[in-house]
């Protein structure tokens, strides 16, 4: 069975600074997808970034980037130039890749990291 | 259209009431999901529909009854709920297993349910 672990229940960062959120996972699969989702107080879960395990290159989306270490089963999220609007719960998630490039099974979430950006 | 729309946004119901939550998407996703989320916790999977058929029921009590009338709609019928069922109920959709490239789940903004 797959598990996702986020070891930092809460973090805080000053506006404009950089912060890194940690995520590790356990799986025997070689093909899978990893995600970071953001859930602000408005409560909608928003996809921040997606990584395909068979791609070595780390995914980036504007101020958000990941450090994907497949051998170490680590998938950390770096937020650069933090903004007040980045204040949210951040969930790391895992899903197996299916034979047709889609998914297999269901999304497995970590327990989340609450990030507060301070002015 | 890249949204999942959930209605209502808030719902207060008594333990003897019957109510329904509604979820709609027009992204061509053939997998749809109901999740329950308690405060400061990750979402817990309740039901999965794949190609309009119920594929997963995570041992959810029968007072929750899902329905998928077509590929764009997902309902959750509620009856005789308990106060501990108070939570945020999230709907999500995604490409199903045979739909090719996978971009994760798209979530709705949820229904905040309070059972009194």
Question: pLDDT tens-digit profile of A21-48?
Answer: 999 999 998 889 999 999 998 788 999 9
CA distance A105 to A108: 9
Cβ of B96 within 8 Å of Cβ of A95? The answer is no
> Which tokens in the block code for residue B64?
């929750």
> Span B53-60, mean pLDDT?
86
Q: Which residues of A touch B96 (CB under 8 A)?
A: 102
Min Cα–Cα distance to chain A from B29, Å: 12
Instruction: Give the DSSP letter string of B50-111.
Output: ETTEEEEE-S--TTEEEEEEETTEEEEEEES--GGG-EEEEEEEE--TTS-S----EE---E
Neighbours of A8 (CB within 10 A): 16
CA distance B46 to B62: 11
> Which tokens in the block code for residue B4?
């999942």
CA distance A76 to B71: 35
pLDDT bin (cut points 50, 70, 90) of residue B101 is low
The predicted pLDDT at position A101 comes to 62
The predicted pLDDT at position A14 comes to 98
Tell me the CA distances in angstroms from A25 to A2, A49, B94, one per residue in order.
7, 16, 22
Of B92, B96, B108, the CB nearest to A102: B96
CA distance A4 to A94: 7
- The residues, any chain, with a CB within 8 Å of residue B61's CB and separated by 6 or more, are none
Neighbours of B92 (CB within 10 A): 25
CA distance B49 to B74: 9
Min Cα–Cα distance to chain B from A18, Å: 24
């Amino acid at each position: 069975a797959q598990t996702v672990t986020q070891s930092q229940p809460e973090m805080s960062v000053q506006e404009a600074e950089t912060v890194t959120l940690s995520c590790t996972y356990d799986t025997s699969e070689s093909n899978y997808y990893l995600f970071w989702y953001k859930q602000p107080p408005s409560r909608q879960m928003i996809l921040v970034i997606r990584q395909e395990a068979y791609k070595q290159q780390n995914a980036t989306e504007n101020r958000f980037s990941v450090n994907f270490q497949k051998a170490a089963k680590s998938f950390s999220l770096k937020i650069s130039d933090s903004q007040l609007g980045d204040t949210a719960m951040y969930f790391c998630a895992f899903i197996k890749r299916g034979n047709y490039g889609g998914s297999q099974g269901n999304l497995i979430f970590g327990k989340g990291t609450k990030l507060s950006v301070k002015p | 259209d890249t949204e999942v729309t959930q209605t209502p946004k808030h719902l207060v119901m008594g333990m003897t009431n019957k109510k329904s939550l509604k979820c709609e998407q027009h992204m061509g996703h053939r997998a749809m999901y109901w999740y329950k989320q308690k405060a400061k916790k990750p979402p817990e999977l309740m039901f999965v529909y794949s190609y309009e058929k119920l594929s997963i029921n995570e041992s959810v009590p029968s007072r929750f009854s899902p329905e998928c009338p077509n590929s764009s709609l997902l309902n959750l019928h509620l009856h005789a709920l308990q106060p501990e069922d108070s939570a945020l109920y999230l709907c999500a959709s995604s490409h199903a297993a045979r739909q090719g490239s996978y971009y994760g789940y798209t979530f709705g903004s949820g229904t905040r349910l309070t059972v009194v």
